[in-house]
Structure 1
Amino acid sequence: MNYQQPQKLQAAIFDWAGTLVDFGSFAPTQIFVEAFAEFGVAISLQEARGPMGMGKWDHIRTLCNEAAIAERFRAARGHLPTDEDVTQIFERFMPLQIEKVALHSALIPGTLEVIAALRGQGIKIGSCSGYPKAVMAKVVELAAKNGLNPDQVVATDEVPNGRPHPAQALANLIALGINDVAACVKVDDTWPGILEGRSAGMWTVALTLSGNSAGLTFDQYQALPQSERAKLRERVAQDFAGARPHYFIDTIADLPPVIAQINKRLAAGDMPQAS
């Protein structure tokens, strides 16, 4: 039997916060600030955003590895942060996140229309997140009330390794019955999420004006002059440079033309691993 390259996309795998819901990805970032504060350690919203996209324990460990934050922790607690300290912060993070995720649960404009258009083309809808399963259950419940019901959801603690490893994206493909990674596109607003898709052998689409890197509310995005949007796109593109996304778009509303372009490239023999 000979290998047959896919001729069109079969699945799209979406991140959640900053991609489908919570335009500026505020739910996870603000809770990191609050969780650290309960241990007497001040971190900024910008610092909290740095490792966004990773599983939350790994995110906290990465923050604690930052020299400035580690020194603040030592000053407050008398020692540098250990894995036990990270676990204690994570255990405080969890109930705060579940409690407050509803405050940032609004769908990003265009989400339902884009999902419907993809399904109209026979494309299955997967999803994954840096949130653990307990938080994702609440996120999914709130999204369903707003009309969003993906075909598959994979939380970070349902696989051996979270982002930037490819396990969550690949778990989606297995569950959805997709027969080739090249027939899948990963859409994400964080560099670990793009690396996840890249490492899984998928097409990747990075969001520049919704999500973690831009950090805007939807109203701020709408009010931003075109000249400022252009500057922000350029800055965010630099944040993604090492992850090498195949495409950049502003928000999920801009995805359909990219899907059409990927399908043309697949039909012409292009593969995501080659570019």
Structure 2
Amino acid sequence: MTKLEALILDWAGTVVDHGSVAPTTIFVEAFKTAFNFEISLQEARIPMGMGKWDHIATLGSLADIKARWQTQFGAPMSNDQIDHIYETFMPLQKAKVAERAMPIAGVLPVLNRLKQQGLKIGSCSGYPRQVMDILEVAAAEYGYKPDHSVGSDELSAGSRPGPWMALENVNVLGISNVAHCVKVDDSAPGIAEGLNAGMWTVGVALTGNAVGLTESQWQACSQTEQDELTRTAYQQLYYSGAHYVIDSLADIEPILMQIEARLARGERP
């Protein structure tokens, strides 16, 4: 790589946790435990990529959930109730996250090659710092150690879809130009984060939240089902504004070559 300086990577569904399973299942459990309120896994995935308190608040504002909440409790979801769900969510998430810390197939060899070529690996997540502390240790045991990471609650300005976590990586890693960075994410807020930071963005379709299946679940799908899931996931991520969409982070190298060529022609994100 002659111009690109860094990849800024999401965690669940992008580098680890094929299908982004750890956060979504815990949202369902947290609502049930805190208030005996039912949400579906599909509903839990809708705001994926946001900081977890904001994720819960967004779920409470979705039309179907808001109507069911109003019926069950007689009023819209309050901040105190969001706080209670969040406080219920946190220990459940901390207990679960290490179980899903294995890197997605094919990702580590690619990242190791890119680091040998001089790219720095930054990272950020919708997980808060106390969850990241557990995830980073667990992922390191598999060999994944980014050069820097930022949790969703670490910056006073906020988290996704704002640019601040991505730009904190730029600051700490000493990157000279945001246009020399590529933000890779499996969610719409994460793509928006990269766009707002002035970076190239690459959506990850099949291993992340857009499909939402573990590797074994994906392999159990028929070819017709896989084709439909792929089409929908690509559409979602392109609609979010991604410059490129790939099946897996393991497929990133040809895209980086294309971006390098565009930079050489004077193009910018």
Short-chain TM bin: over 0.9
Tell me the equivalent position of 2:42. Answer: 46
- Listed as ranges, the matches of 1:124-139 within 5 Å are 124-139=120-135
Is 1:22–2:17 an aligned residue pair? yes
* Distance in 2 of aligned mates of 1:180 and 1:269: 13
The alpha-carbon deviation at position 223 of structure 1 amounts to: 4.5
Say if 1:40 and 1:76, in contact at 8 Å, map to a contact too.
Answer: no
Say if 2:205 and 2:237, in contact at 8 Å, map to a contact too.
Answer: no
Say if 1:74 and 1:101 are closer, same or farther in 2 by CA, change over 3 A.
same
The alpha-carbon deviation at position 148 of structure 1 amounts to: 0.5
Which of 40, 54, 64 aligns to 1:68? It is 64
Is 1:265–2:267 an aligned residue pair? no
Tell me the equivalent position of 1:212. Answer: 209
Task: Give secondary structure in 1 for the equivalent of 2:75.
Answer: coil
Tell me the equivalent position of 1:10. Answer: 5
What TM-score does the superposition give when structure 2 sets the normalisation length? 0.95
Which of 69, 84, 96 aligns to 2:92? It is 96
Letter in 2 for 1:133: R
The alpha-carbon deviation at position 70 of structure 1 amounts to: 2.0
61-70 or 9-18, which deviates more = 61-70
Is 1:151–2:122 an aligned residue pair? no
Say if 1:7 and 1:266, in contact at 8 Å, map to a contact too.
Answer: no
- Listed as ranges, the matches of 1:184-263 within 5 Å are 184-224=181-221, 226-263=223-260
Say if 1:36 and 1:89, in contact at 8 Å, map to a contact too.
Answer: yes
* Distance in 2 of aligned mates of 1:259 and 1:144: 25
Query: Any unmatched runs of 5+ in structure 2?
Result: none
* Distance in 1 of aligned mates of 2:78 and 2:236: 28
Q: Deviations over 1:85-124 (max 9, x none)?
A: 1111111100110011122222101121111111111000
Task: Give secondary structure in 1 for the equivalent of 2:148.
Answer: coil
* Distance in 2 of aligned mates of 1:236 and 1:63: 21
* Distance in 2 of aligned mates of 1:224 and 1:58: 33
Tell me the equivalent position of 2:167. Answer: 170
Query: Any unmatched runs of 5+ in structure 1?
Result: 1-5
* Distance in 1 of aligned mates of 2:218 and 2:178: 33
Letter in 2 for 1:128: C
Task: Give secondary structure in 2 for the equivalent of 1:153.
Answer: strand
Say if 1:224 and 1:121 are closer, same or farther in 2 by CA, change over 3 A.
farther
Say if 1:10 and 1:178, in contact at 8 Å, map to a contact too.
Answer: yes
* Distance in 2 of aligned mates of 1:268 and 1:227: 40
What TM-score does the superposition give when structure 1 sets the normalisation length? 0.93
Say if 1:42 and 1:72, in contact at 8 Å, map to a contact too.
Answer: no
Is 1:111–2:107 an aligned residue pair? yes
Is 1:122–2:118 an aligned residue pair? yes
Letter in 1 for 2:178: V
Task: Give secondary structure in 1 for the equivalent of 2:150.
Answer: coil
Say if 1:7 and 1:267, in contact at 8 Å, map to a contact too.
Answer: no
The alpha-carbon deviation at position 233 of structure 1 amounts to: 2.2
Identity of aligned residues (%): 51
Give the root-mean-square deviation of aligned CA atoms. 1.5
